[in-house]
Amino acid sequence: MGGNTQQSRYFNRELSWLEFNQRVLDEALDETNPLLERLKFFCIVSSNLDEFFEVRVAGIKQQIESGVSTRTPDGLTPTQCFKAIARRVHRMVDDQYRCWREQLAPKLASHGIRIMPVSELNPEDRAWLDAYYRAEVRPVLTPLAIDPAHPFPQLLNKSLNLIAEVTDPGMNRRRRKPRLVVVQVPSVLPRLISLPGEEGRHKYVYLGNLIGSYLADLLPQAEINGWWLFRVTRNSELYVGEKEENLLQAVETQLHRRLKGQAVRLEVQAGCPNAISDRLLKTLGLARDDLYVLDGPLNPTRLMMLAAGDHSPELRDPPFIPPVSPAVQDEPDLFTAIGKRDILLHHPYESFETVVDFLQQAAADKRVLAIKQTLYRTGGDPRIIGALMDAVRNGKQVTAVVELKARFDEANNIEWSRQLEEAGVHVVYGVVGYKIHCKVTLVVRREDDGIRRYVHLGTGNYNPTTARIYTDLGLLTCRPDVGEDATNLFNLLTGLCRFQSPRCFIVAPFELHRRTIELIQREAEHAKRGLPARIIAKMNSLVDTDVIDALYEASQAGVKIDLIVRGICCLRPGVRGLSDNITVRSIVGRFLEHSRIFWFENARQPEVYLGSADWMPRNFFRRVEIIFPVEDGRLRDRIETELLAIMLADNTKARLLQPDGSYVRAKRALGEPAINCQSEFMRLALETAASKTGKSGPQSRTLRPINRQLALESKNTPHAR
């Protein structure tokens, strides 16, 4: 996977990401998953590829056009990297659509969920569809002829279009030449049209196919020779300079340009003649490597409506309603609960409503003087935004640091940040040149013994919607050192103050890279001295070569290193003499693994850090991030013996990275129970919550052995010199 396996110390970043997307596709192929969950993974594969082309492939193509020849750490030039990407994606897309044709579509049909060709509908359905077309679809359509008087239209990014070859039967046969017509499939209409039908059976028609079947009505004077659907993906990266005087206006300007960026990919319907696809490629400035012929739906993400529909519950995962954390069950007043001791929240297994309640209580509490919060992706949730607005109305000082450049959420962030401003919230639009990616809320409260600061720190966004499907951790605390660091952080973000060395935070871009390497090197020194040394690190991506080199050196010193990396991993594990003591696993399951956890043995004095940053150059140098320690020993033990232990014991959804770049599923030892860490966390959360109310359920048969195993491994691992 990228470069020469015998020589390269690193995997290629882009190809490693594609292997992650393959693991997502593997979940769609996995017949042990419920059918609609498999469909969901099938859709996510396409959604992921869209963003990959819009950003990563677009950037590589720009490098090629600019003549950049700098090699990636694994030794590939931009041209070589693009060629490798094209080969891998074509193979992946072929596998993805074979999964659709041979598995998902037939199984959906067997359960009464069918996507029908218009030609196979019965007379009643045809009559209903004809009425729907004339009332809802035809008035919105605009056929665009392509001829000397009508140049090829500007097609918007990711829009679905139809191209038809037509001739004019009224013209002289000698002068009659085929012409092309383009019809954009309206994005304002549902891409899947649900037909009325009997209970328990669901029939749908693709909007694009409906339009194609009615072309003769739309072009009454033309003879239709054929029609084919196609889709264009464009460069969608925002380019905001560091000297912009108005960041908000600069981002808005770039958003308008995004829809018409340079084309980077063309997807066409199977059966489209080469002459048509070649014409499209030439018009868009693309080559054959950029062409993807799809024998199935051109935009599978629109099939997500089937996964979200009201179909049979047996076709999806059992519902899970996260309980309220036991730490706050007995104390509805969160300020009192936090005052007693730090609270660790594990989402989505414990309800995110605790975080919402924290904001709402702060907004209503008469003793609260000020609220400050960083906002990256909120989804515009009215309770998060509403709490900040309510706080202003209640006379509190409220500040929101909004990141306008949160990719593909820019327009939403602009819209609701203006609502915040109109309500009287002090809105700061980040820092030019850096993304504000840290997740912090600071509440300043006057109490009987003086001012006390309450802080929420998280690994994920303040987004109640994604908090139901992303795994994240949050810490609620009123420790004075944390409050002081949070105060200084907001002063840095809002007042352009100089960076002050924090008491407990580790902050990027100022020190996180250096401190991360120092923590790794400390474990290596412990190992060399014969002291217990181990690293367990969980993150989304591992790319930074300096950190990877430090991990290699620690491995050679005898440090046992377990990495849980969901996505990109450029480190090559298990190479003799280089990374013998390093294992890398990726967990892809029902929830998106998103938490970042960094555990260091430290000679039997464990240190645990949580935070918002992956080990990537962008997080170290181009974002404002924080990593924060877990000081409460009880919570540190929980992270070690519960969270990390169960994830390392997963033998169902975990895949292990091999030295050659491939991933293999974790193997279960003979007689060993199947362990799905996400299922274990759901069960554990429900059992713990039930025990607090006196309704305890059966205890886990696997939890205690896992914990004991981790404790033994972390304390008694032999270290090579």
Which pLDDT tens digit goes with each residue over 287-330? Answer: 999 999 999 999 999 899 888 766 678 899 999 999 999 999 88
Which of 696, 675, 674, 672 minimizes the C-alpha distance to 686? 696
The whole-angstrom separation of Cα 593 and Cα 147 is 51
Q: Is the pLDDT of residue 702 over 50?
A: no
The whole-angstrom separation of Cα 663 and Cα 131 is 51
Q: Is the pLDDT of residue 110 over 50?
A: yes
Give the model confidence (pLDDT) of 353-412 as tens digits.
999 999 999 999 999 999 999 998 767 678 999 999 999 999 999 999 988 765 555 567
Q: What is the DSSP letter of 572?
A: -
Which of 242, 238, 231 minimizes the C-alpha distance to 257? 238
The whole-angstrom separation of Cα 705 and Cα 691 is 21
Domains and CATH numbers, the chain: 13-315 (3.30.1840.10), 326-504 (3.30.870.10), 507-716 (3.30.870.10)
What pTM, to 2 d.p., does this model score?
0.91
Q: Is the pLDDT of residue 82 over 90?
A: yes
- Which of the residues 311, 437, 513, 594 is marked catalytic? 437
> Rounded to an integer, what is the distance from CA 19 to the centroid of its chain?
15
437 carries an active-site annotation: yes
Which of 309, 311, 270, 305 minimizes the C-alpha distance to 291? 270
Burial class (CB in 10 A: 0-12, 13-18, 19+), 525: middle
Give the model confidence (pLDDT) of 320-358 as tens digits.
999 999 999 888 899 999 999 999 999 999 999 999 999
Q: For residue 684, what are its two tokens?
A: 């554990």
The whole-angstrom separation of Cα 258 and Cα 704 is 52
Q: For residue 597, give the 3-state DSSP assignment.
A: strand
Residues 6+ apart with CB under 8 A from 669: none
Q: What is the DSSP letter of 186?
A: P
Give the model confidence (pLDDT) of 18-41 as tens digits.
999 999 999 999 999 999 999 999
The whole-angstrom separation of Cα 574 and Cα 579 is 5
Please state the rounded mean pLDDT for residues 415-431.
84
